[in-house]
Amino acid sequence: MNEQATLKSKEDMTQDDIRNFEIRDYLRLDLFPHFMCPGCGHGIALRALLWAIHAQGIDKDKLAIVSGIGCSGRVGTYIDANTYHTTHGRPLAFATGLKMARPDLHVVVITGDGDCLAIGGNHLIHAARRNLDITCLMLNNEIYGMTGGQVSPTTPADRFTTTTPAGNMEPVFDACRLAEAAGAGYVGREVTIHLPRLRDIIAEGLAYKGFSFIEVMSDCTEVNGRKNDLGSSPEMVLGQTRAMRPSEYDNNVVDHPFRPNSMNTGVLVRSNRPEYGTSYRNMVDKVQALQQKGQK
């Protein structure tokens, strides 16, 4: 299997690539309306992903969407592509096998905060360490929505959830820093309200040769929002920018484990680490060359 074609860099993407986007070309229309709650940010995130895929001109047949369990896991179902809804926490491991076996596919993982950081945390750090060419989209709604609103590794301090009836006391993960520390070659974070920016960050991540991790700050309006009086859906969407500091990654920023919403957005890491699949295939070529020599 050949490796996938190189995608466009941010500069190469023309206005035509970005315009002429008809989202319904990328959806399984028979399944609509989708099952997500009114105002759920995952729908906006899905638009950003599909738009980025469109801007990059990726063939739907060559697109593999791997997702786990939870609200985020169901998002992939609606994409008209090769979609794999796998087990809880394991989409990155599935994707690793799929990408190694089929380097010609564009493998995109859609996962959630619980799926990716709690049950699947180990797979995240090791996928980042390997730096295999996978794009991982973590939809962070700061709660376990599908199971009725339990505390997650990204639930901010003092939030009420069904399992923290007196408010959350556990510190949270900064997923982007985690991915960066584990070695992810491309790391970005954006809120859903900045859709064009989110699209561009995802598009760059798709083109990045290596493990790209993108955290999408999404809203859980029905479960998280209601329980914590975060306002109506539009109010929550508008509140996203209030909580975020859009800036470049500043490593000198003091860590605020109990004020997790004051997080940076934008492209946080762009590095030049070797991509694992390419390294592996180079090794295979060497082994096979040596073997042929031996046979002669």
Partner 1 sequence: MTKINKVMKATTQPAVRTAVEKLNPDTAKEPINVLIVGVGGQGVIMVSKVLAQICQNLGYQVKQSEVHGMAKRGGVVFSHVRFGQNVWSPTIPMGKADVLIALEWAEGLRWMNYLRPDTGIFIADTKRIVPPFACRSRILGADIGYSKNTPSDVREKVAEAFAIDATEMATKAGNERAANTLLLGALSTTLSFPDDEWKNVIGKMVPPKTIEVNLAVFDKGQVWINRSRKGEPVEGGAFVPLVQPEINSVRTELSITPEWCKGCDICVKMCPERCLVLNKDQVAELAEPEKCTGCHICEWLCPDFAISLKPIHQEAVA
Partner 2 sequence: MTVQQNVAQATPTINLPTINLQGNHACALGAVAAGCRFYAGYPITPSSEVAERLAKELPKVGGVFLQMEDEIASIAATLGASMGGVKAMTATSGPGFSLKQENLGYGMKAEIPCVVVNVMRGGPSTGMPTRPAQGDLMQARWGTHGDHPVVALTPGSVEEIYQQTARAFALSEKLRIPVIVLFDESLGHLEETITLPDVTEYENTIRKWATGKPEDYKPYKADADGVPPMARPGDGYRVHTTGLIVAEGGFPTQKADVVAPVMKRLLDKIEINNDLVESFEDIDCQDAEVVVVALGIVGRSAKKAVRELRQQGIKAGLFRPITLWPFPTKSFRALTKKAKYFVVAEMNAGQLILEIGAAKVDKQSVSGLNRYDGEPISPSLIKQAVKEVLGHE
Tokens 């950003």 correspond to: 48
- Partner whose footprint covers residue 110, from partner 1, partner 2, none (CB < 5 to 8 Å by kind): none
CB under 8 A: which stretch of 76-84, 144-152, 170-178, 205-213 binds partner 2?
76-84
**Contact with partner 2 (CB under 8 A) among 49, 52, 53, 95:** 95
| Token pair belonging to 37 | 């709650």
Interface residues for partner 2 in 99-158 (CB under 8 A)?
Answer: 99-102, 104-105, 122-123, 125-126
- Angle at which helix 121-130 crosses helix 175-182, to 10 degrees, equals 40
Least gap, CB of 139 to partner 2 (angstroms): 18
Q: Per CB under 8 A, does 241 bind partner 1?
A: no
Nearest to 161 by CA among 94, 221, 227: 227
Least gap, CB of 45 to partner 1 (angstroms): 9
Using the minimum distance from each CB to partner 1, give the nearer residue, 5 or 23: 23
Using the minimum distance from each CB to partner 2, give the nearer residue, 14 or 288: 288
Nearest to 75 by CA among 117, 113, 107, 47: 47
Query: Which H helix or E strand runs over 267?
Result: strand 264-270
Q: Cβ atoms within 10 A of the Cβ of 219, count?
A: 27
Q: Per CB under 8 A, does 157 bind partner 1?
A: no
- Angle at which helix 121-130 crosses helix 91-101, to 10 degrees, equals 30
Nearest to 42 by CA among 90, 79, 95, 80: 79
86 vs 81: CA distance, rounded Å: 15
| C-beta of residue 144 within 8 angstroms of C-beta of residue 88 | no
Least gap, CB of 74 to partner 2 (angstroms): 9
Would you give the binding string for partner 1 spanning residues 189-218, x where CB under 8 A is met? ---xx-xx----------------------
Binding-site ranges for partner 1 (CB under 8 A): 22-24, 27, 32-34, 36-44, 47, 192-193, 195-196, 221, 232-235, 237-238
Binding-site ranges for partner 2 (CB under 8 A): 28, 31, 60-62, 64, 66, 77, 80-87, 90, 93-102, 104-105, 122-123, 125-126, 280, 283-284, 287-288, 291
